[in-house]
Amino acid sequence: MDIVGNVLPQVLKDEATEDKGEMARLQSFVGAIAVADLVKTTLGPKGMDKILKPTGPGQEMTHITVTNDGATILKSMYVENPAAKILIEISKTQDEEVGDGTTTVAVLAGELLREGEKLIQKRIHPQHVIAGWRIARDVALKRLRDISTENDIESQEFHNDLIKIARTTLSSKLITTDRDYFADLCVKAVLRLKGSSNLDYIQIIKLPGGTIRDSYLDDGFILKKQITIGCKRRIENAKILVANTAMDYDKIKIYGTKVKVNSMDKVAEIEAAEKEKMKHKVDKILKFQPTIFINRQLIYNYPEQLLADSGITVIEHADFEGMERVAAATGAEILSTFDAPERRDQVLGHCDLIEEIMIGEEKMIKFTGCKKNEACTIVLRGSSIHILDEVDRSIHDVLCVLITTVKNRRVVWGGGNSEMQMAAACEEEAKKVQGKQALAIEAYARALRQIPTIICDNGGYDSAELIQNFKVELQKGNLSYGLNMNDGTVGDMKELGIKECMRVKEQAVMAASEAAELIMRVDDIVKCAPRKRERA
């Protein structure tokens, strides 16, 4: 009631709810911190895996997922807490931007909010906390850029950096025992792109069977299809026409239409007209003078026979993703009409050799010496589809990080070195700042230091002792030191060859800071009334 005793008007609907002030902020903190705590045990080279199992009627036999990839875990979660959804979204963004650091960004945002909650309890206004965090973020990013190094992209040092970054990224994955082999494989694949960031040129094929070490990099593009019966199995100096057009008109297909005929001769005339129409389309295709024809859709027997009789090798029903890759690798255009044969040189793809090969027990088509020679294929082998899926995710993360490194070229030492140095820079800055913002800057430094602390805890080591020893080494001037998780000590990252992409760290710090600021500003949560179905 107001001061004159009148009843205040109801703004929200009957079933709508509203949480204000401390209650709203508490809900946001709890949801976001819960998500961060869920994935933080997967952080680092000794992180644990999670099993993601779908539930519900009819899903008991659905394919399960075993992974420690933060983005995969968070994308599979269904949460109602809005703050938790924000953390899931920034993890997705991190995965799309740089491919790695998805767990780091969620954990760092959670730790920032944990520290922010302590400051709120001390009656420090959220705006003071946010102002301090912004100062700390700028100082941390400046220190990160100052400690990063850059080599010429053509130098052997840069190639060595790529190998080290790939090994470091793979150290937290399932294939950590074979990280040297896969690091070299991924670097060779990325260097074939010659500076391009188009991952379509790198095809990844998963084939159950054998062991993980049986995986290999194939020089060329492999299409998971077979050449049509009656066509050549080996074509040299191929001219490739890639199309997405209907080639199944040789049978009568009249949907929802009634046709009355008074004899079978009339039916034969309809069939003849359809065949003539298809022959006319095939004649148009032949004017392009290809040696191999790849179509997205089915090709029925009649046009297939016409093309084969003309000496053209036919591949039908190619999946759309495979077609896009073939077109990109061979320099072809995907056509749906064939009215401009004079553009033959622009629309046809070129390849030195196309042949049918056997991988495991499956027949596939291999394109070697493509016009755009950046194309290659990584063939993954493994004992089960669950292992292959996780290896695929690991290889994809490494490829994304390597491409980001080739574009950015700046690298930093791994093993928690960059987080500790950024935390030290924030603590130095806090000594120069007056007022409550200094407390927020110190809280930001503690949140950054939690990343190496969690890495130690996940490895079963004494994090308090290791982090203190780490701080002492940095204070002595050993700026290349970091956590050696193989034996639980503080070691020289230069000797161990542990490096990371600076862009991954930079994106994680910026995204985590923005998400934490967004959640920190919340002081009201309004839940709308559920929509009711009106009965007819």
**Does a structural domain hold residue 390?**
no
- Kindly state whether residues 448 and 360 are assigned to the same domain: no
- Kindly state whether residues 333 and 473 are assigned to the same domain: no
- Kindly state whether residues 314 and 431 are assigned to the same domain: no
Q: How far apart (Å, rounded) are the C-alpha atoms in residues 441 and 311?
A: 73
Q: What pLDDT score was predicted for residue 8?
A: 40
**Does a structural domain hold residue 178?**
no
- Kindly state whether residues 366 and 419 are assigned to the same domain: no
Q: How many domains does the chain have?
A: 2
Catalytic residue check, 211: no
- Kindly state whether residues 430 and 318 are assigned to the same domain: no
- Kindly state whether residues 231 and 128 are assigned to the same domain: no
Q: What pLDDT score was predicted for residue 4?
A: 46
Q: How far apart (Å, rounded) are the C-alpha atoms in residues 347 and 334?
A: 8
pTM, rounded to two decimals: 0.81
Catalytic residue check, 523: no
* CB contact burial 229-256 (16+ within 10 A = b; e otherwise): eebbeebeebbbbbbeebbebbeeeeee
DSSP state of 488: T
For residue 64, give the nearest of 77, 54, 75 by alpha carbon.
Answer: 54
Last residue of a domain, one of 372, 402, 436: 372
Catalytic option among 42, 72, 102, 228: 102
Half-sphere exposure for 428 (CA within 13 Å, toward CB): 10
Catalytic option among 41, 103, 104, 313: 103
**Does a structural domain hold residue 484?**
yes
Q: What pLDDT score was predicted for residue 535?
A: 63
Range of the domain at 244: 221-372
Q: What pLDDT score was predicted for residue 62?
A: 55
**Does a structural domain hold residue 398?**
no
- Kindly state whether residues 356 and 431 are assigned to the same domain: no
- Kindly state whether residues 225 and 323 are assigned to the same domain: yes
**Does a structural domain hold residue 302?**
yes
**Does a structural domain hold residue 449?**
yes
User: Which tens digit of pLDDT belongs to each residue from 225-281?
Assistant: 888 887 888 889 989 999 888 887 644 555 556 667 777 877 777 777 778 888 888
- Kindly state whether residues 452 and 334 are assigned to the same domain: no
- Kindly state whether residues 363 and 426 are assigned to the same domain: no
Give, in order, the Cα–Cα distances in Å from 423 to each of 7, 287, 377, 420, 462.
53, 67, 42, 5, 20
Q: How far apart (Å, rounded) are the C-alpha atoms in residues 84 and 328?
A: 39
> Is the sign of the CA dihedral 95, 97, 98, 102 positive or negative?
negative
Spans of the chain below 70 pLDDT: 1-21, 55-62, 249-259, 373, 524-536
**Does a structural domain hold residue 382?**
no
Catalytic option among 41, 42, 65, 69: 69
Q: What pLDDT score was predicted for residue 443?
A: 94
Catalytic residue check, 397: yes
CATH number of domain containing 329: 3.50.7.10
Catalytic residue check, 102: yes
**Does a structural domain hold residue 168?**
no
Q: What pLDDT score was predicted for residue 21?
A: 63
Catalytic option among 397, 405, 453, 457: 397
- Kindly state whether residues 228 and 337 are assigned to the same domain: yes
